[in-house]
Amino acid sequence: MKTIGRIEKWGQVTQLQGKNGTMTKCEVVIKDIGGDYADTYVATVWGEEAKKNIAKGTPVAAKLRFFTHEHEGRTYQDIVADEIISLAAKEVVF
């Protein structure tokens, strides 16, 4: 899914130990442009891109990927930000 919105929050970068080595991630909150009741997405950014902190309020175009998985009988939905383009700087952040 592609959306245009503003960065509401760029979370703290965390390191995770996986079976194939260390992974870097952070959570980013993107709110669609459209007022107080616009949709808001909390997405995970993986890898080196997680270290690229974008300021709150920056307008962006984002490519988001939604998927679900089950764990211990419960279903969860995750959102991954595959691409974020800063519209203020007119450059591809990742």
- pLDDT, residue 56, reads 96
- pLDDT, residue 19, reads 87
Token pair 């930000």: residue: 81
- pLDDT, residue 90, reads 67
Domains and CATH numbers, the chain: 2-92 (2.40.50.140)
- Alpha carbon distance 67, 91 (integer Å): 27
Residues 31-76 have pLDDT tens digits of 999 888 999 999 999 999 999 999 999 999 999 999 999 999 999 9
pTM of this structure = 0.86
- Alpha carbon distance 42, 32 (integer Å): 12
Angle at 66 between CA 13 and CA 5, to 5 degrees: 70
